[in-house]
């Protein structure tokens, strides 16, 4: 069985952080109570979930790091691993220094200790993000000083590190998961657009996907703005930029937004509104046990006179605590139907416990979504086992 993800923060990680912080404190001529930090940060850690563990370690850092930001800045920099800019999945602390998940509470503690020192704190986060993303810590700075922060971030757009450039687009996402929202940018994302414009053709796919994620966030509240931008960016678009736009508009496609579908070429001149139809929807697993999978097939038919690009998604209507049904759209696939042609769409959809959904027993519904229009009425019962 896989180890729980929350264990990226554990007592061994706390002890390793303490060792490097104590070493770094000696280098910069200050003190750090490693034993006190381990005692506070490690006590009760096992009972907490991932974000709670990060916050718990953050509190211990604020308690034991030097009160003055200048000294804390020097200490944290000295504790970092000498190698930077590696792949995110490979960033783990070792005997040479700190990198990886410990950067998350360290960045948050630095922001608190350096409150009001926007330029200096951002410069530290810029260095720390090269050892693991500072996308969570930077939110507090953006909330406190949005205009000053964006002006500084604009100076990072040509930084040689892809991690720093990605921090510009990922850290400013209005609705970044796991992080506080940025209400000002939810209401008015216009200040973000010059940054995203500058990064849209970044040489790093890691950065371009972050730009797409930011636009996907913006599209939740300003769909027409993103569609207009996608239309403009799609002119003479490279293959890489076209992929960015598909990823940026994924939420709009799942919502069946006509403008987004048109920009990305779904439908077409040879297809009328009723030319792509659902011939059959067959649920192969009429009863699904939690931990198992829903399996179904759907036949799509085209009466169009030309090839038609089709986004095939599907909608599961989950039973809620009140016994009503709540729809959730899941991404399927993109296909091109030949004139008068048909395809069979098959899917095995896992129904297993996840932290973001509570399942309830009962009859669930299934629909197939074809270029934003829902078809069919499949049914299956969920047994919680």
Q: What is the pLDDT of residue 353?
A: 87
| Nearest Cα residue to 170 out of 212, 126, 117 | 212
Q: What is the pLDDT of residue 268?
A: 58
**Structure confidence at residue 91 as a pLDDT band (50, 70, 90):** confident
330 torsion bin: left (phi>0), alpha (psi -120 to 50), beta (else): beta
Q: What is the pLDDT of residue 356?
A: 81
Indicate the Cα dihedral angle 110, 114, 119, 120, nearest 10°.
Answer: -70
Could you tell me whether strands 325-337 and 373-383 are parallel, antiparallel, or unpaired per DSSP bridges?
Answer: unpaired
pLDDT tens for each residue of 158-191? 999 999 999 999 999 999 999 999 999 999 999 9
Q: What is the pLDDT of residue 273?
A: 55
Query: What gap in Å lies between CA 269 and CA 272, rounded to an integer?
Result: 8
pLDDT(42) > 60: yes
Q: What is the pLDDT of residue 88?
A: 80
Other residues' Cβ atoms within 10 Å of the Cβ of residue 47: 8
pLDDT(55) > 60: yes
Q: What is the pLDDT of residue 272?
A: 53
Asked if 172 and 185 touch (Cβ cutoff 8 Å), the reply is: yes
Domain positions in the chain are 1-134, 276-383
What burial class does residue 35 get, using C-beta atoms within 10 Å of its C-beta: 0-12 exposed, 13-18 middle, 19+ buried? exposed
Please give the CATH architecture assigned to the domain spanning 276-383: Sandwich (2.60)
CA distance to 28, 32, 38, 59, 113, per residue, from 22 (Å)? 10, 5, 11, 17, 18
Q: What is the pLDDT of residue 2?
A: 61
Higher-pLDDT residue of 357, 382: 382
pLDDT above 90 covers a percentage of the chain that reads: 87
Global pTM value: 0.90
Query: Which ranges of 203-336 does DSSP label H, i.e. alpha helix?
Result: 205-221, 223-233, 239-248, 250-254, 258-263
pLDDT tens for each residue of 204-214? 999 999 999 99
pLDDT(299) > 70: yes
Q: What is the pLDDT of residue 269?
A: 53
Could you tell me whether strands 373-383 and 287-289 are parallel, antiparallel, or unpaired per DSSP bridges?
Answer: parallel
């Amino acid at each position: 069985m896989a180890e729980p993800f929350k264990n990226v923060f554990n007592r061994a990680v706390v002890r390793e952080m303490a060792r490097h912080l104590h070493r770094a404190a000696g280098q910069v001529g200050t003190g750090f109570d490693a034993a006190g930090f381990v005692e506070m940060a490690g006590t009760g850690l096992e009972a907490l979930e991932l974000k709670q563990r990060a916050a718990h370690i953050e509190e211990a850092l604020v308690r034991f790091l030097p009160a003055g930001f200048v000294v804390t800045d020097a200490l944290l920099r000295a504790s970092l691993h000498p190698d930077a800019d590696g792949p995110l999945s490979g960033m783990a602390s070792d005997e040479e220094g700190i990198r990886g998940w410990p950067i998350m509470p360290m960045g948050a503690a630095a922001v608190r200790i350096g409150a009001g020192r926007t330029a200096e704190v951002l410069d530290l986060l810029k260095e720390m993000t090269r050892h693991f993303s500072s996308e969570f810590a930077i939110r507090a700075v953006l909330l406190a000083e949005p205009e000053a922060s964006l002006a500084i971030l604009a100076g990072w757009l040509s930084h040689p590190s892809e991690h720093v450039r990605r921090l510009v687009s990922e850290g400013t996402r209005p609705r970044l998961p796991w992080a506080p929202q940025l209400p000002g940018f939810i209401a008015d994302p216009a200040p973000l657009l010059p940054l995203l414009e500058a990064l849209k053709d970044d040489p790093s796919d890691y950065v371009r996907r972050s730009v797409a994620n930011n636009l996907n966030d913006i599209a939740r509240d300003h769909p027409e703005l993103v569609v207009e931008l996608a239309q403009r960016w799609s002119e003479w678009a490279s293959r890489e930029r076209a992929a960015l736009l598909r990823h940026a508009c994924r939420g709009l496609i799942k919502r069946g937004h006509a403008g987004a579908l048109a920009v990305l070429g779904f439908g077409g001149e040879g297809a009328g509104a009723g030319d792509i139809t659902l011939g059959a929807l067959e649920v192969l697993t009429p009863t699904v046990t939690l931990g198992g999978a829903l399996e179904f097939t759907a036949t799509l038919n085209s009466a169009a006179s030309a090839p038609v690009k089709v986004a095939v998604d599907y909608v599961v209507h989950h039973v809620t605590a009140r016994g009503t049904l709540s729809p959730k759209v899941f991404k399927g696939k993109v296909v091109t139907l030949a004139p008068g042609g048909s395809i069979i769409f098959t899917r095995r959809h896992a129904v297993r416990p996840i932290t973001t959904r509570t399942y309830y027993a009962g009859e669930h519904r299934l629909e197939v979504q074809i270029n934003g229009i829902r078809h069919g009425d499949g049914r299956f019962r969920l047994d919680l086992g």
